[in-house]
Amino acid sequence: MHIVSKSSSKFTRPHIATIAAAFALGIGASGQALAGAREATLASAEQALAYCQSGAMKYTDVAYFNGSAGEAQFGPNPKDKCAQKVPTTAKVIKALVVTGTTVSQCTLATAKRSQMLCNAGGIGEWDIDYILGPVATVIGGPGYGCGTSITTGGIGNAICK
């Protein structure tokens, strides 16, 4: 004989579908949501320059694009005038990304958030993506062990939050 009792508590064990949905949305055991964190394709140098010259970037913006190691698009401020160069003092917190033919800016994800996304399979196996950190900080995909480093080569993706 089995005895089944119902709890009088308002807090009951979650249904398995609720748990599965949470993991599908990127809410893992750490309790941090990954919803919104994503791997994105960087805009080309030509797309980045056109985006800046269109007036879409703020004067103070500095954002990665698909260029050489650490190369970034500077905003249309009087000093830099939409220059494309490796920052020496500016902190890069954004990336210029492209979806189809539409260029937009995204804010780079932290190393911790990027590693969680990588470990959850959200980064291509052999991809290398820009993330928030010192100039040219990247994360390698699962094939590289989801580790972070400073790149010396061109990068085609970024992790956006």
Give the pLDDT confidence of 65-91 residue by residue, as tens digits. Answer: 999 999 999 999 999 899 999 999 878
Segments forming the whole domain that contains residue 154: 34-160
- Which tokens belong to 25? 């949305």
Instruction: Tell whether 13 is covered by a domain.
Output: no
Q: Tally the domains of the chain.
A: 1
Q: What are phi and psi of 97, to 5 degrees?
A: -120, 160
Is 19's pLDDT higher than 70?
Answer: no
Instruction: Tell whether 7 is covered by a domain.
Output: no
Beta bridge partners of 129: 139, 157
CA dist., res. 138 & res. 57, Å (int):
23
pTM above 0.95, yes or no: no
pLDDT (0 to 100) of residue 2: 40
- Which tokens belong to 133? 């950190």
